Amino acid sequence: MKLTDRNDLFDAGANCVNYLVNCIQSDGSFIYQQNAESGVRSYKYNILRHSGAIFELCLWLKDNHDNYQLELLEQPIKFLLNHLFEWDEHLCIVERGTAKLGGVALALLALSSFYELKKVEALIPIMKRLAGFLEVCQLPDGDFISKIYYDGRSSSEFVSAYYPGQAILALISFYKIDRNERWLNSARKSADFIVSKPLLTGLDRSRNRNFDTWLSKALYQLLSVEYKVSYVKKINDIVELDLDIMNRFFRRNIDANEIFDQSTSASMASLCEALLAGIHWSILSDNREEAVKIFNSLNAARNYCLSLQVTQKVNGTQFIGGIKKNRRDASIRIDFVQHVLSVITSMLQIKKQLN
């Protein structure tokens, strides 16, 4: 599948959006996972991915406004709000007895992105309390505690490679709404800590799928507020490393249809997302040549992800627009769709800027 036409890319994104919107259930949750071949659903749930789906839907609707779809999003927002827990004067998300940094960060991102569309002022104090919890998780050196046991209020030894980037992105996103310097200072403090540390490289990076997707997005948003050489260097390092990983996935001149079957839509899309943040920075810094170079390197990966989209009726129409895990596994999970939608939204924005 070759998607050089903007309309084809837009249609693929619209199908992702329609799939997620059609997955909204009466209680506001999404159909979390279902198999496009067997129709079997998983009744597990992950509130982090719930928030992530809202976040990406809002980013799409910011560029492609649809009153009906925006109205439907109020249900998942209410579901999310019903899953907030008190933590002193703050709020957090608790799942299976733990308050996760990433859960609170993605909840704040979901509410911030929804606020940008609807301007629901009642969300402001809620978002402040969520942002306050992120500060609770921040250590003096800028690092974050990834997970805290809710009842005992003790820290878990679990460390996430993704949560700090999500927290920085959430703080800077809320800062752009609230304009309180404390959120910017917290985001900057964490970013300064992270950029001082070396990135995973080579097989360690590839095996751990540590493509610094959320960190790349966070650094780009920070750079849109203030220029800092260390942030630029870190984004450039991420782009260089992840382009190398991309070349490991695709042999020179290989057609996307020949990619290894086990490569998942989520990991491939996450890799693209990290690189797309680098493209956004290149455009912001007037480096069009670099932006075009990185953008063109994503064609095979993008086409692979979209080859996993259900485009025809299979056991009903409810799977159309969904993104399968890979070519061997027809499971569709909301975060598979979320990550691919993120790639499409960014690529459409970049195409528009580069034309």
Give the per-residue pLDDT at 254: 52
Q: Where are the beta strands (DSSP E) in 21-88?
A: 33-35, 41-42, 84-87
Domain span at residue 140 reads 83-197
Integer angstrom CA distances of residue 183 from 190, 201, 217: 11, 31, 17
User: How many domains would you assign to the chain?
Assistant: 2
Give the per-residue pLDDT at 317: 76
What is the β-pairing status of strands 33-35 and 154-155? unpaired
- 111 and 28, same structural domain? no
Q: Does residue 66 form part of some domain? A: no
Q: Which two tokens stand for residue 106?
A: 């993605």
In the listed set 197, 231, 249, which residue is the last one of a domain according to the structure? 197
DSSP per residue over 138-197, as a string?
B-TTS-B--EEETTTTEE-S---SSHHHHHHHHHHHHHHHH--HHHHHHHHHHHHHHHTS
- 251 and 185, same structural domain? no
Cβ neighbour number for residue 133 with a 10 Å cutoff: 27
- 265 and 132, same structural domain? no
- 91 and 149, same structural domain? yes
Q: Does residue 65 form part of some domain? A: no
Query: CA 169 to CA 253: how far, in whole Å?
Result: 35
- 337 and 241, same structural domain? yes
- 136 and 24, same structural domain? no
* pTM score over 0.85: yes
Query: CA 327 to CA 256: how far, in whole Å?
Result: 12
Q: pLDDT over 70 for what percent of the chain? A: 93
Give the per-residue pLDDT at 201: 80
* Segments of the chain with pLDDT less than 50: 1-4, 252-253, 256
In the listed set 197, 227, 260, which residue is the last one of a domain according to the structure? 197
Give the per-residue pLDDT at 333: 98
